[in-house]
């Protein structure tokens, strides 16, 4: 692929025509803030379940699973809508609205005093997530030349990881910090949530100013809404796109299962060992930091591999790593033990390998005119996967063992790994990828 005169480079990444370095810096800030504070819901939720509501330990896994599942039902209903309309009105207004909605959800989350209030707060949060997640993936592909897609995924993934590590490391300790200043148990959780909301609002203004406006094609070239809706389904006739949809089904489950069940598992283990809920949440947040840190170290390696080999071959590698790391969690009894730390580190490597390779495959196959719609469809598939993984996983968490949700998605990775091998032989696509 030759370089267009309007294309520039951002470090080692060749950008798409018309994209500026300022646009990319803004996207990186979005990656840092959105993914970082998206993960705070699991920290805050674990705290609220224990401090505000006092839910019995043997019911917390099921409740967490149901909350995540109800959230994904809303994402499932909304993400395709946002993807289709982003191809008509642009990505910027949708992602800005999403971050403001998420900020509002964090204002009301710590005010809950009944379980059904939790579902309302989580539902509002889910609308914001549906707007943001699809746009994040779409913008990454919009801003990148095809031959640099793996490098851009590594770069944005690094900022995702920095955001998640920072939020879990700093804000995971916020309730404990405010309690140390004299705040009551419930008030400490409220202050932590409201501090997050306070940071998100000016970040929305940064995105409004710095992201590229408009759509990626001229007005007269934009497909009709009906055509965009149909394209998301009809594109699955391409075996590689069908595989990308299936891999999204699994890779988003990987991410959410880690966030949903790691903190609550650690909190329960901590309370059983005599820690307070705030201390248990802090220990769980540190486990996520360990996983995200190892993922960040692995990102450049995975990005390099994606740009050097066939994308389906990369997906086979990614799902193989994910299958091993997630199923291995079944051997962990105490998540707070020192022996568990290496496994949580490997978990981060497995999760990012699955996510990167799934994103790279759909980015390669999606036509620019329909990119928002097709990535919206991957979001729908991901939401269905999360819905099943969190609802079934939550029940298994309480009835079988706390590591059961991880084993469940590990088995799902094995299925995608086997199907990817089949597609690699029958519809390999761009076999002879050439390095830049």
pLDDT tens digit sequence for 417-426: 999 999 898 8
Of 170, 171, 172, 165, the closest CA to residue 296 belongs to: 165
The CA dihedral of 289, 295, 300, 303, to the nearest 10 degrees, is: -140
Burial label, 435 (beta-carbon count in 10 A; 0-12, 13-18, 19+): exposed
The predicted pLDDT at position 241 comes to 85
Domain annotation covers residue 216: no
The predicted pLDDT at position 377 comes to 76
The predicted pLDDT at position 12 comes to 84
* Structural domains of the chain, count: 1
**Residue 358: pLDDT band with limits 50, 70, 90:** confident
Cβ contacts of residue 187 below 8 Å, gap of 6+? 178
Distance separating alpha carbons of residues 40 and 352, to the nearest angstrom: 19
Of 352, 347, 363, the closest CA to residue 301 belongs to: 352
Rounded to an integer, the average pLDDT of 348-373 is 77
* Structural domain of 125: 19-211+223-426
Of 87, 415, 374, 77, the closest CA to residue 237 belongs to: 374
Q: Is the pLDDT of residue 29 over 90?
A: yes
The predicted pLDDT at position 106 comes to 92
**Residue 436: pLDDT band with limits 50, 70, 90:** very low
Q: Length of the chain, please?
A: 436
Distance separating alpha carbons of residues 289 and 29, to the nearest angstrom: 19
Domain annotation covers residue 217: no
Distance separating alpha carbons of residues 7 and 19, to the nearest angstrom: 7
Which of residues 417 and 7 earns the better pLDDT score?
417
The predicted pLDDT at position 107 comes to 92
Rounded to an integer, the average pLDDT of 294-314 is 85
Structure pTM? 0.67
Give, in order, the Cα–Cα distances in Å from 42 to each of 93, 159, 223, 264, 285. Answer: 26, 19, 38, 8, 9
* Residue 10, H or E segment: strand 9-10
Q: Is the pLDDT of residue 431 over 70?
A: no
Domain annotation covers residue 199: yes
Domain annotation covers residue 1: no
Distance separating alpha carbons of residues 95 and 98, to the nearest angstrom: 5
Phi, psi of 67 (to 5 degrees): -65, -45
Instruction: Determine the 3-state secondary structure of 35 from DSSP.
Output: helix
* Residue 170, H or E segment: helix 149-170
Rounded to an integer, the average pLDDT of 285-295 is 84
C-beta separation of 47 from 64 below 8 A: no
Domain annotation covers residue 121: yes
Q: Is the pLDDT of residue 364 over 80?
A: no
Distance separating alpha carbons of residues 117 and 223, to the nearest angstrom: 40
**In 237-340, which residue ranges form alpha helices assigned H by DSSP?**
239-272, 277-306, 311-327
Instruction: Determine the 3-state secondary structure of 52 from DSSP.
Output: coil
Of 373, 389, 349, the closest CA to residue 249 belongs to: 389
Distance separating alpha carbons of residues 279 and 130, to the nearest angstrom: 31
Rg from Cα positions in the chain = 21
Distance separating alpha carbons of residues 101 and 34, to the nearest angstrom: 12
Q: Which segment of 190-194, 208-212, 300-304 scores lowest on mean pLDDT?
A: 300-304
Phi, psi of 109 (to 5 degrees): -55, -50
Rounded to an integer, the average pLDDT of 205-226 is 65
Distance separating alpha carbons of residues 324 and 286, to the nearest angstrom: 22
The predicted pLDDT at position 367 comes to 67
Angle of helix 21-30 relative to helix 149-170, nearest 10 degrees?
A: 40
Domain annotation covers residue 31: yes
CATH of the domain at 254: 1.20.1250.20
Which of residues 169 and 13 earns the better pLDDT score?
13
Domain annotation covers residue 13: no
Rounded to an integer, the average pLDDT of 285-290 is 84
Q: Is the pLDDT of residue 216 over 70?
A: no
| Percent of the chain surpassing pLDDT 90 | 14
Q: Is the pLDDT of residue 99 over 90?
A: yes
Domain annotation covers residue 94: yes
C-beta separation of 7 from 145 below 8 A: yes
Rounded to an integer, the average pLDDT of 383-410 is 84
- Of the spans 33-37, 67-71, 215-219, 365-369, which averages the highest pLDDT? 33-37
| Token duo for residue 384 | 């269905």
Q: Is the pLDDT of residue 219 over 60?
A: no
pLDDT in tens, 120-156: 988 999 999 888 877 887 888 788 887 787 788 888 8
Q: Which segment of 126-130, 299-303, 380-384 scores lowest on mean pLDDT?
A: 380-384
Q: Which segment of 81-90, 132-141, 261-270, 298-307 scores lowest on mean pLDDT?
A: 81-90
C-beta separation of 46 from 122 below 8 A: no
Cβ contacts of residue 71 below 8 Å, gap of 6+? 122, 123, 125, 126, 129
Cβ contacts of residue 130 below 8 Å, gap of 6+? 74, 75, 77, 78, 79, 82, 98, 379
Q: Is the pLDDT of residue 413 over 80?
A: yes
- Of the spans 32-41, 86-95, 98-107, which averages the highest pLDDT? 98-107
Q: Is the pLDDT of residue 73 over 50?
A: yes
Q: What is the largest CA-CA distance in the chain?
A: 65
C-beta separation of 63 from 49 below 8 A: yes
The mean predicted confidence, pLDDT, of the chain is: 81
The predicted pLDDT at position 26 comes to 94
Rounded to an integer, the average pLDDT of 163-192 is 82
């Amino acid at each position: 692929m030759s370089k267009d005169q309007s294309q520039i480079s951002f470090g080692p990444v060749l950008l798409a025509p018309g994209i500026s370095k300022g646009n990319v810096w803004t996207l990186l800030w979005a990656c840092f803030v959105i993914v970082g504070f998206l993960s705070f819901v699991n920290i805050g939720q674990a705290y609220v379940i224990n401090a505000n509501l006092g839910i019995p330990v043997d019911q917390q896994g099921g409740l967490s699973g149901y909350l995540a599942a109800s959230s994904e039902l809303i994402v499932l209903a909304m993400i395709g809508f946002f993807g289709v309309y982003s191809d008509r009105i642009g990505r910027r207004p949708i992602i800005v609205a999403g971050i403001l909605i998420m900020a509002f959800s964090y204002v009301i989350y710590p005010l809950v005093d009944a379980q059904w209030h939790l579902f309302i707060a989580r539902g509002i949060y889910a609308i914001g997530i549906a707007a943001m997640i699809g746009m994040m993936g779409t913008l990454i592909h919009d801003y990148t030349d095809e031959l640099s897609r793996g490098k851009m995924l590594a770069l944005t993934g690094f900022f995702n990881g920095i955001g998640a590590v920072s939020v879990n490391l700093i804000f995971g300790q916020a309730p404990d910090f405010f309690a140390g200043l004299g705040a009551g148990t419930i008030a400490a959780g409220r202050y932590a949530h409201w501090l997050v909301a306070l940071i998100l609002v000016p970040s929305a203004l940064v995105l409004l100013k710095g992201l590229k406006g408009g759509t990626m094609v001229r007005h007269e070239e934009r497909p009709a809404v009906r055509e965009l809706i149909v394209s998301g389904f009809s594109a699955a006739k391409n075996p590689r796109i069908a595989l990308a949809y299936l891999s999204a089904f699994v890779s988003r489950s990987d991410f959410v299962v880690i966030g949903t069940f790691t903190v609550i598992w650690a909190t329960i283990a901590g309370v059983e060992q005599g820690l307070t809920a705030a201390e248990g949440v802090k220990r769980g947040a540190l486990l996520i930091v360990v996983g995200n840190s190892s993922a960040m170290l692995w990102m450049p390696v995975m990005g390099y591999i994606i740009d050097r080999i066939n994308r389906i071959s990369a997906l086979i590698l990614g799902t193989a790593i994910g299958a091993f790391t997630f199923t291995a969690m079944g051997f962990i009894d105490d998540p707070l033990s020192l022996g568990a730390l290496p496994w949580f580190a490997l978990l981060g490597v497995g999760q990012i390998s699955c996510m990167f390779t799934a994103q790279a495959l759909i980015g390669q196959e999606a036509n620019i005119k329909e990119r928002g719609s097709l990535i919206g469809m991957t979001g729908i598939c991901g939401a269905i996967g999360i819905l099943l993984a969190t609802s079934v996983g939550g029940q298994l968490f309480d009835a079988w063992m706390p590591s059961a949700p991880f084993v469940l998605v590990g088995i799902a990775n094995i299925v995608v790994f086997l199907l990817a091998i089949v597609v690699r032989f029958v519809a390999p696509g761009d076999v002879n990828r050439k390095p830049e």
